[in-house]
A and B are shown apart, each in its own frame.
Chain A
Amino acid sequence: MIEIIIYVFLGIGVFFNLLASFGLIRFPDVYTRLHAGTKCTTFGSIFLSLAVIMYGLRLWYLEGFNSGNSVLVIHTIIALICILVTNPTGAHAIARAAHRSGVMPAKAVVDDLKDDRKKGRGRKKK
């Protein structure tokens, strides 16, 4: 039973990670590529980590409380928390740097940030 859950989680994770790299190829500019590259890899990594956590819990249950398998579970949870916190922050930093270095969104309907910076009301550089 638990093996089927692990297979399903691995399948979902791999599908979204492949989707992220295809989106990286297909989208037209930096910001839309960030959409694909951030959301899909985070979601795929969550499901891959959940599969590994399930696998570790099953080993921990089968081999007893004092076997070394608790390390697999707990360290995977810590790696998952690291991914969840750092990934959106990195995407935010790249988007801000791209807009300040002059890469404008392609086919944009509205751009409040550009207008504000022209008027001099945007945040000043330190």
Chain B
Amino acid sequence: MKKFIVATVIGFLVYLLLTTSSGNDFFIWSYSEIVVGIIFAIIVGIIVRNVFIKDNFRMLNPVRWLVLLVYLIGPFFISMARANLDVAYRVITGRINPGIVKIDPKLKTDLGVTMLANSITLTPGTLSVDVDEDKNQLYIHWINVKEDALKKKPRDCKYVCGGFPKWVRRIAE
């Protein structure tokens, strides 16, 4: 029942966002849009309630969303800007030294691994290629391999992704 209510409320909020300025009965929405939105949100909630939320409700905590927003604006955006200047440098000079390395970020949940893989793709010089689903280990294509990182077999995490696993653990686990 709680799964159904959460899915319905989120669907209704998305419907409201997509139909702003349809009238001025209730702020900037009209009554007919709100009634239709409630009906469709209930139908969608019945269909997706078991797919939308898998195991637990930890992402309902608003502190996690606040930390996610801070993470997106602060460290993520700065490293994204650095990544783009890095790509610009390599387009102009053509100096590359690529390789595929394996790292072990020690994350447990699927959502955390997804978030870390997307962060790694958008940050300097790295691109996630494959994932070992049993042990949650990632294979990373690295455009400028450093010799220091090649010493032990699951490679050291701090050369590739910096402090990202700490942030992701705070957000998603």
Check A-B contact in the complex, CB < 8 A: yes
Residues on A facing B (Cβ under 8 Å):
16, 19, 22-23, 26-28, 31-32, 34-36, 38-40, 42-43, 65-71, 74-75, 78, 85, 88-89, 91-92, 95-96, 99, 105-114, 116, 122-123
Give the Cβ gap from B148 to chain A, nearest Cβ, in Å.
13
Asked if residues A26 and B139 are in contact (CB atoms below 8 Å), the reply is no
The answer to whether A123 and B130 touch across the interface, beta carbons within 8 angstroms, is: yes
Are A43 and B84 in contact, CB atoms less than 8 angstroms apart? yes
Closest to B101 in A: A112
A38 touches B122 (CB 8 A): yes
Q: Given that A70-B20, A123-B130 are known contacts, is A88 also in contact with B118, CB under 8 Å in the complex? A: yes
Give, as a whole number of angstroms, the nearest-CB distance from B78 to chain A: 12
**Measured between alpha carbons, how far is A38 from B143 in the docked complex, in Å?**
14
Contact of B127 among A26, A35, A70 (CB under 8 A): A35
Q: Is the interface of A mostly helix, strand, loop or mixed?
A: helix
Q: Which of B28, B80, B99, B121 has the most CB of A within 10 A?
A: B121
The answer to whether B100 touches A110, judged by C-beta atoms less than 8 angstroms apart, is yes
Q: Within 8 Å of chain A (Cβ to Cβ): is B17?
A: yes
Most buried by A among B21, B97, B155: B21
Instruction: Judge whether B83 is part of the interface by a CB distance below 8 angstroms.
Output: yes
> B21–A38 contact, CB under 8 A?
no
| Proximity string of chain B (131-145) to chain A, C-beta cutoff 8 Å, 1 when within and 0 when not | 111100001010101
B91 CB-CB contact with A under 8 Å: yes
Q: How far is the CA of A116 from the CA of B129 in the complex (A)?
A: 14
Pick from B81, B121, B141, B155: contact of A88, CB under 8 Å: B121
- A83 to B117 alpha-carbon distance, docked (Å): 16
